[in-house]
Amino acid sequence: MTATTKPSSALGALTRNNTFLGFLFLLPAAVFLLCFLTYPLGLGVWLGFTDAKIGRDGIFIGLENYQALASDSVFWMAVYNTVLYTFIASVLKFALGLWLALILNENLPFKSFFRAIILLPWVVPTVLSALAFWWIYDAQFSIISWSLIKLGLIDTPINFLGDPNNARASVIAANVWRGIPFVAISLLAGLQTIPQSLHEAASLDGATGWQRFRFITLPMLTPIIAVVMTFSVLFTFTDFQLIYVLTKGGPVNATHLMATLSFQRGIPGGQLGEGAAIAVAMIPFLLASILFSFFGLQRRKWQQGGQD
Amino acid sequence: MSISEQTATPTLTDDAQGMSYLNRLPRRLVVLYLPLAVFIIVLLFPFYWMAITAVKPNSQLTDYNNYSPFWVVGPTLDHIKYLLFETSYPGWLWNTLVVSVCATVLSLAASVFAAYAIERIRFKGSRSVGLLIFLAYLVPPSILFIPLAVIVFKFGIYDSKLALIFTYPTFLIPFCTWLLMGYFRSIPFELEESALVDGASRWQILIRVILPLAVPGLISAGIFAFTLSWNEFIYALTFIQSSENKTVPVGVLTELVRGDVFEWGSLMAGALFGSLPVVILYSFFVDYYVSSMTGAVKE
């Protein structure tokens, strides 16, 4: 360390050059990201145009993978599921998360304690909490079925994961359970930045609770909502773990998401090229949500009085 | 509401209605405490269920007629003993720990330099590099795992801990860099300028001035990165084959689930013990954790 404090004059001149110094400091991160992020991203796109299999480099086959996928009903089912899953789960996560954030923003006893335990579903490894859901959704011994039977609401246990629509609803519920804390705590942070004086001024003018929410809280929160929901949509869209644990895409491919289908075709199925093509097919959707995020950020800047 | 009523009430009550419309207890109970209680019960129930299943004797596990499923009579440690002494579980815990610590340390080190360079050295194009880092943060593992598997195989690190230690930084570095950039930005320029005037090198400034001030940021980024690595699943599932190299999430799912006979007790014990380390870490650093989560969103 002391060696670098007295560099020779040539080296000294170089380290005073900001561009060189910046390059030097960025090098470790850049090497990692180029090797394990940029390169695989490009390689993935290339693999999508080849017929690579595990243990064998593929040859370029143009769009054949995509043509095969276009006439593959399982693939379209996965696309449909992914969009449905993302849409419903995101809407629910947003509504419930905002509600929870508004509750937590009130004066409550043990507020920080509540905030701490609410984040737990998000902290715990998804696979492990998904295992708990697997047990909760058990076809025979589901605690939900048992409780509902005891309450006299249903007669036979619910077949949570065996029926396509039930299975979809079940995985969405588990995803929402896991996602609410993130949305709630992030929005709570946003809520706390809204100046109290705005609410006071509005109440003096006679605004009702709903009006204050609609015309103060919501507009002030919009930029954060845009960013939080972009992240939420992004992670929901590319979700893999919950489906893999709960249904493995079943029953009869009814709950496959694009990510799980890509895994199933690519790794256990060995069709690397086809798996990569399915993964690449997710990119347009992801780009759309990233662009959405940028507009959210832009608006934030504008609201703070900066240039649009 | 009649006009006389409105005129009769002075403006004071109007104000009170606006500011504290939730303050009357019965209403507060229905609007606030009841939903909060429901939220908390629903959010925590799976953990309770996990814990109670882990200590339930097998005879009670599926016998809902004679025993209430919500409680346990005569808890047993059999499932936990089985997990710790008759499976590779302790090894998976160790692997997860090693991988998470190494990946976190590696990512933090690289991120500190990168964030400092982007935020403070102000070289040409530093802003676009910052933007690229943010974009890298948005690339999800589910579109990278297939090509990464090919790369990991070509590097000859397939089925080893190194495969995970080298690939986890792909999502950790962008996140940590982004977070640390925010922290570095909050450190006043004057401190750095005076150190520069005193003849300190950039390296000395970073080590002696910036890093001590950015300790909260380092802790936030560190524990968050650790948790992310601990929870990672898809890479570990794809790149690891042999049982002795598996991490906890993969091991529990692929080795403890066998055929049609589910040993729910040991499965839930495995889930519980795999969650505990991050939960304990989290309970010590709740505020850092929250600030890193919201910081990443707000920046």
Domains and CATH numbers, chain A: 1-47 (no CATH), 68-303 (1.10.3720.10)
Contact: A36, B294; criterion CB under 8 Å: no
In which residue are the tokens 């302790």 written?
B90
Task: Tell me which residues of chain A, numbers 123 to 162, contact chain B at a CB-CB cutoff of 8 Å.
Answer: 123-129, 131-133, 135-136, 140-141, 143, 146
Contact: B275, A125; criterion CB under 8 Å: yes
Note whether A179 contacts B: Cβ–Cβ < 8 A: no
| Regions of chain A where pLDDT drops below 50 | 1-7, 305-308
Q: Contact, A180 vs A170, CB < 8 A?
A: no
Task: Tell me which residues of chain A, numbers 220 to 249, contact chain B at a CB-CB cutoff of 8 Å.
Answer: 224, 227-228, 231, 234-235, 237-241, 244-245
> Does residue B195 carry a pLDDT above 90?
no
Distance CA B267, CA A131 (A): 8
pLDDT tier, B81 (very low <50, low <70, confident <90, very high otherwise): confident
Q: Is A184 left (phi over 0), alpha (psi -120 to 50) or beta?
A: alpha
What is the end-to-end Cα distance of chain A in Å, rounded?
45
B118 to A25, B5, B164: CA distances (angstroms) = 9, 63, 27
Note whether A207 contacts B: Cβ–Cβ < 8 A: yes
For the segment B157-165, the average pLDDT, to the nearest whole number, is: 91
CB pairs under 8 A between A and B: 303
Best residue in B42, B43, B146, B148 for a mutation probing chain A (most A CBs within 10 Å)? B146
> Which residues in B lie closer than 8 A to residue A208 (C-beta atoms)?
18, 21
Amino acid at B59: S
State pLDDT tens for residues A153-212: 888 888 888 888 999 999 999 999 999 999 999 999 889 888 888 888 998 988 888 888
Q: For residue A240, give the nearest of B110, B142, B169 by CB distance.
A: B142
pLDDT top residue among B26 and A233: A233
For the segment B217-225, the average pLDDT, to the nearest whole number, is: 91
Best residue in A41, A85, A123, A175 for a mutation probing chain B (most B CBs within 10 Å)? A123
* Run of H or E residues at B138: none
Distance CA B140, CA B146 (A): 12
Distance from CA of B4 to the nearest CA of A (A): 18
Amino acid at A115: R
- The set of residues, in sequence order, having a beta carbon less than 8 Å from that of B29 and lying 6+ positions away, is none
Distance CA A18, CA A28 (A): 17
**What pLDDT does A307 receive?**
44
Distance from CA of A204 to the nearest CA of B (A): 6
* Run of H or E residues at B68: none
Distance CA A101, CA A93 (A): 11
Contact: B279, A124; criterion CB under 8 Å: yes
pLDDT tier, B4 (very low <50, low <70, confident <90, very high otherwise): very low
**What pLDDT does B112 receive?**
93
Amino acid at B270: G
Tokens of B135: 């974009």
B85 to B79, B82, B253: CA distances (angstroms) = 10, 5, 18
**What pLDDT does B12 receive?**
43
Secondary structure of residue B214 in the 3-state scheme? coil
**What pLDDT does B108 receive?**
94
**What pLDDT does B260 receive?**
62
Q: Contact, B266 vs B83, CB < 8 A?
A: yes
Amino acid at B8: A
Distance from CA of A61 to the nearest CA of B (A): 17
> Which residues in B lie closer than 8 A to residue A227 (C-beta atoms)?
297-298
Tokens of B194: 């005076």
Task: Tell me which residues of chain B, numbers 182 to 241, contact chain A at a CB-CB cutoff of 8 Å.
Answer: 201-204, 207, 227, 230-231, 233-234, 237-238
**What pLDDT does B234 receive?**
93
Note whether B36 contacts A: Cβ–Cβ < 8 A: yes
Task: Tell me which residues of chain A, numbers 87 to 126, contact chain B at a CB-CB cutoff of 8 Å.
Answer: 96, 99-100, 103-104, 106, 108, 112, 114-121, 123-126
**What pLDDT does B18 receive?**
46
> Does residue B236 carry a pLDDT above 90?
yes
Task: Tell me which residues of chain A, numbers 58 to 77, contact chain B at a CB-CB cutoff of 8 Å.
Answer: none
Tokens of A274: 């086809």
What ipTM was estimated for this complex?
0.85
Question: What burial class does residue B288 get, using C-beta atoms within 10 Å of its C-beta: 0-12 exposed, 13-18 middle, 19+ buried?
Answer: buried
In which residue are the tokens 């001149």 written?
A13
User: Across the strands, what pairs with A56?
Assistant: A53
Note whether B18 contacts A: Cβ–Cβ < 8 A: yes
Q: Which string of b and e fits A103-124 if b means at least 16 CB within 10 Å?
A: bbbeebeeeeebbbbbbbbbbb
Segments of chain A assigned E as strands: none
> Does residue B32 carry a pLDDT above 70?
yes
Q: Contact, B141 vs B238, CB < 8 A?
A: no
Tokens of A26: 């960025």
Distance CA A63, CA A49 (A): 6
Distance CA B257, CA A302 (A): 53
pLDDT tier, B74 (very low <50, low <70, confident <90, very high otherwise): confident
Q: Contact, A278 vs A75, CB < 8 A?
A: yes
Dihedral pair phi/psi, residue A53, rounded to 5° = -125, 165
Give me the CATH topology for the region B87-298: MetI-like fold (1.10.3720)
Secondary structure of residue B67 in the 3-state scheme? coil
* Closest residue of chain B to A301, computed from CA coordinates: B299
Note whether A176 contacts B: Cβ–Cβ < 8 A: no
Q: Domain coordinates of chain B in residue numbers?
A: 3-54, 87-298
Contact: B46, A136; criterion CB under 8 Å: yes
**What pLDDT does A87 receive?**
92
In which residue are the tokens 């773990």 written?
A241
Q: Contact, B218 vs B184, CB < 8 A?
A: no
Tokens of A78: 């996965």
Which of B67-71, B150-154, B253-257 shows the highest mean pLDDT?
B150-154
